Structure 1
Amino acid sequence: MSALLSARGLRLAFGGVKAADGIDLDVMEHEFLAIIGPNGAGKTTFINMSTGYLRPQAGSITYDGTHQLLGLPPRRIVKLGVGRSFQLPQLFTEHTVLENAALALAAREGIWRPFAPLLRPAIRAEAEELLERFGLLHLADRRADALNEGARKLADIAMAVALRPRLLLMDEPTSGVAAADKMQVVETLVRVLREARVTAVFVEHDMEVVARFADRVAVWGQGRIAALGPPGEILNDPEVQRTVIGVVPNAVA
């Protein structure tokens, strides 16, 4: 299995705060890599650097072995096959779920024009198929601002998948989702992404989600990768349990 994304020597400081302090990381093709760590550790900074929203002061990020991502605008990075979703869903809230999916498809094909019909037959058919994969077809005619948080998250990621990424970076995909809905939301997005053979990196605070769905886990701490390995190994590490999960190993009740 080859690396789809390779980061080397990433450094970025905001004043005296080191958001990235020599990050080296390979994201392997077709894997699901979870990034965990305390708030302020630099997790979202890594995603922002990888998708063109921030530029590091040193280092490199290579995609698919040949494409240097640093200096490229986010739109260009998306066209190369690197997608992302944000902690807060980026939906057109005044439009329906179907229209949101159609807008993403039209953007991918470069066919959107003011005053031209958006829901032309081919676009509508693909948008409906996309929503069906995410279990959202029954909500197609509902406005995005009327969805619960779980459906909003899925709709947001569906729009990212509409762009046909090979790599998708997700910033806290379960943030704000009700506990009762969380596992179903993650099961759906993991199923869709694996069926589409999309490599995924996701920042996550729910350790049950990480344990169940990640192939590997990277632990961020003060702008560095403190640990990297399979979930069973990482989540049972006493230092990770103390600094990230918030439990004291072998504590006496």
Structure 2
Amino acid sequence: MSALPDTRNAPVLQAAGLQKRFGSVVAASDMSLEVGHGERVSLIGSNGAGKTTFVNMITGYIRPDAGSIALDGRAITGMTPRAITHLGVARSFQIPQLCAGLTVLDNMLVATACHGRSLSFLRPAHRADAIERAEALLKRFGLAAQSGRRVSELPGGVRKLLDIAMALTEQPRLLLLDEPTSGVSVEEKFPMMDTVMQALEEEAMTVLFVEHDMDIVERYASRVVAFYSGRIIADAAPADALANEEVRRYVTGTLR
């Protein structure tokens, strides 16, 4: 019997040589990236640069044409999104995936049921534990007072917070946030991100977030990875990445 891989010193995420084409469009060209424990990494780039394709390959929604992906040293290339979720990868979406007709608490319970292996939303024997975990997460995200409100009544920033809280119901090791401030008002975006980052401090997880707002990137990322035309053009601390000539030309538009 072959030995299991030693994952004690492995990066949380290791992507090597990822390639992906959609017809004549190159969405990923030899993308390689390692992310360590506890990092806060922002993925930046213009629309079509390859950010979402990268996230979709990591989470199993798209299978790369070539290359490999490992989580804590374990190969996950080609696994289904559900299998990858159970290994400790979670994501939120640019448009929150919520049940508008249900309350905030019931949305949390639905997420618990979907992420877990037993339908705690439906089975009374598991409901008390699920409610306790859900209420604890809602408190951390400043949503306890909204628990009984229907999602359809909530403003955009609160919906974003709920979507991220739902992603944490299985206590992931790697969390991917797709444009967390998209659709959020200027007044809401910094308080919302403060809440998110403070809530995540209580979880031992690594965070990758796709973001177009460079003020958010500079304030909350410990590292920036920039994409252009399906390839990674910069990978550095925020100040260094944003000063990169290619990033200024192709991403931020500050170099003419």
**Normalised by the shorter chain, which TM-score bucket?**
over 0.9
The reply on whether 1:57 has 2:65 as its aligned counterpart is: yes
2:107 aligned residue (97, 100, 104): 100
Does the 8 Å contact 1:97/1:144 carry over to 2? Answer: yes
Distance of 1:73 and 1:185 partners within structure 2: 31
Distance of 1:170 and 1:150 partners within structure 2: 14
The reply on whether 1:86 has 2:93 as its aligned counterpart is: yes
Distance of 2:70 and 2:119 partners within structure 1: 31
2:201 aligned residue (194, 197, 220): 194
Name the residue aligned to 1:136: 143
Name the residue aligned to 2:119: 112
Change in CA separation of 1:113 and 1:16 when aligned onto 2, cut-off 3 Å? same
Q: How does 1:85-234 map to 2 (within 5 A)?
A: 85-112=92-119, 116-117=123-124, 120-234=127-241
The letter of the residue matching 1:71 is G
1:41 aligned residue (26, 31, 49): 49
Change in CA separation of 1:73 and 1:155 when aligned onto 2, cut-off 3 Å? same
Does the 8 Å contact 1:193/1:199 carry over to 2? Answer: no
Does the 8 Å contact 1:33/1:215 carry over to 2? Answer: yes
The letter of the residue matching 2:13 is L
> When the two structures are superposed, what TM-score results if normalisation uses the length of structure 2?
0.92
Determine helix, strand or coil for the equivalent of 1:72.
coil
Structure 1 spans left out of the alignment, 5+ residues:
none
Change in CA separation of 1:181 and 1:119 when aligned onto 2, cut-off 3 Å? farther
Does the 8 Å contact 2:110/2:121 carry over to 1? Answer: no
Determine helix, strand or coil for the equivalent of 2:201.
helix
Distance of 1:145 and 1:70 partners within structure 2: 37
> When the two structures are superposed, what TM-score results if normalisation uses the length of structure 1?
0.93
Name the residue aligned to 2:28: 20
Structure 2 spans left out of the alignment, 5+ residues:
1-8
Structure 1 segments (4+ residues) deviating >6 Å: none
Percent identical? 47
Change in CA separation of 1:44 and 1:114 when aligned onto 2, cut-off 3 Å? closer
The reply on whether 1:7 has 2:15 as its aligned counterpart is: yes
Distance of 1:22 and 1:238 partners within structure 2: 21
Distance of 1:82 and 1:207 partners within structure 2: 25
